[in-house]
Chains A and B, each alone.
Chain A
Amino acid sequence: MSEETKLQTDNLDLYYNKFKALNHISVHIPANRITAVIGPSGCGKSTFLRAFNRMNELIPDVRVEGQVLLDGQDVFALDEVELRRRVGMVFQRPNPFPKSIYDNVAYGPRAHGIHNHQMLDAIVERSLRSAAIWDEVKDELGKSALRLSGGQQQRLCIARALAVEPEVILMDEPASALDPSATLRIEELMQQLKAEYTILIVTHNMQQAARASDYTAFFMMDDNRAGTLVEFGPTRQIFTNPRDHRTEDYISGRFG
């Protein structure tokens, strides 16, 4: 592959206790591109995503084998707190803190030791602008984030993730709880963001994957119900000319 690799896994196996959820996943995720992760429910997409910011570790009895690399560095050799600053995450359900809009965005920078007010103000504005929500909320930064609409909340969560200046943004079905117009706004936003960030997005929406992503990874469960990577490639190729018949079946099934 000619592109520069940002994230990489080598023979990644992941177990929830005795259950093997990921089986030998090896993939290179290119930098400054949007990579979509698709596949049937329960095939390990979220698990795969959480491997990159080590959020799986928060679940008791999870065991990981194989390698996960960020810029060629083993993520397990990094401090997980520092890793998670560099690899941000947006969740399926919008989950703003029950705090003001401002405090939501400032939360991350504050946690990392920035308390200077001018600096925080600048970060909040820049992040909200990048997340394309600044114009909607700039006059009411003190308002509770819980009073925003679902789509606004999700963009606020993206702003919150951007505020700590990550290099990668993991998005786990970020639009599944949103209506079509809010979904479109998130997709537009992703296009703007990819200039500076590497984006990895899980989606159940084939149109969305086809529309918005540059690369696509297709996961499936193998005979032991462990998630395996069936096919990875440029989105156009995966959707028009898949190499594996299982990819074709899945995509045509989902489109049809």
Chain B
Amino acid sequence: MAYKSARLMDRGVKGILLAAAFLAVAIVFTIGLFILRQALPAFSQIGVFRLLSGTEWRPSQSIFGLLPMILGSLLVTLGAIVMGVPLALGCAILMAEIAPRSITAVIRPAVQLLGGIPSVVFGLFGMRVLVPLIRQIPVPSNTGFSILAASIVLAVMILPTITTVSEDAIRAVSGDYRDASLALGATKWQTIVGVVLPAARSGIVASVVLGIGRALGETMAMIMVIGNSVIIPQPLNDNPLTILLSQARTLTGNIAVEIGYSSGLQTNALYATGVVLFLLTILINSLAHALVKERAI
């Protein structure tokens, strides 16, 4: 009798768990489909190409071009990668290969904590410290709210992702390779560069790709430091580097800033922005996946 009821219970639970799994997965797919459905009017009325390549975004005149935001997102991400990747990889190599355990025991929790700090806190720090600092740069119409400020904030925000994932990848490299290299008379640094990093390559590249995904997706900290003007970023004077001092708006920022007060086609265009972002991150994440799977030669 007890056996029978246990069996019944077993079946029942399996059903419940299956339902939960089904529900969870249904939610996952609903999210994608729902946003896509909301975006369709924008795609059909504005046209995919005009939406993506349009250089102006003026909801009041029903002009919806995403190019400024696409460029804003790309530039900010590029800046974050240029600054953040060397820093993050340096940290990862230090922890995995160079520093004694006692030092690693300090750096790792610090990096982990950095990853948990809410983005508004980074944004606040950016607004109060970075933006005023950057404003000091004597270039006309430099407000401090800039691609540069956003890139710096993002570089710090993606550091934990890149450091953690690539440290794992470096640690996963077989000690046999290190021993073989050192036994040939290579220095430790030669061993790191010549054997360890190449062997960890796919994991390291994946960490950078994940970092890019994270950078593209950041919203609130960007709104707080980038100025949010819908303009195609341009150098402020004849020095091309001053493009970094230009204000900009990111794809994510575009959604967050406008969705609450939008209506009609504008709402649809914002969903379309979401679809672009969604596809971009899926692309990037599958790239990261493929890279992790790819074996060294």
Contact = CB atoms under 8 A, between A and B. Distances in A.
Do A and B share a direct contact in the complex (Cβ within 8 angstroms)? yes
A60 to B, nearest CB: 8
A107 B184 contact: yes
A98 B185 contact: no
A108 B195 CA distance: 11
B187 interface: yes
B297 interface: yes
A93 interface: yes
Contact of A58 (B177, B179, B198): B179
B181 A58 contact: no
Contact of A81 (B178, B180, B187, B194): B187
A96 B184 CA distance: 12
Contacts of B10: none
A164 B296 CA distance: 25
B199 interface: yes
A112 B297 contact: no
Interface in B190-204: 190, 194-195, 198-199
B238 interface: no
Contacts of B291: none
B185 A95 contact: no
Contact of A99 (B183, B190, B297): B297
A60 B100 CA distance: 10
Interface residues of A, number: 30
A160 B199 contact: no
Given A58-B182, A84-B182, A88-B184, A95 B176 contact: yes
Contacts of B112: none
Contact of B177 (A53, A82, A95, A161): A95
Contacts of A91: 176, 179-180, 183
A82 B183 CA distance: 10
Interface string B228-258: 0000000000000000000000000000000
A205 interface: no
B82 interface: no
B186 interface: yes
A31 interface: no
Contacts of A160: 180, 184
A55 interface: yes
Contact of A111 (B101, B176, B194): B194
Contacts of B101: 60
A88 B183 contact: yes
Interface of A: 53, 55, 58, 60, 81-86, 88-89, 91, 93, 95-100, 107-108, 110-112, 144, 157, 160-161, 164
Given A88-B184, A111-B187, 13 more contacts: A60-B101, A86-B185, A88-B183, A89-B179, A91-B180, A95-B174, A95-B180, A98-B297, A99-B198, A107-B194, A110-B194, A160-B180, A161-B183
Interface of B: 101, 174, 176-187, 190, 194-195, 198-199, 296-297
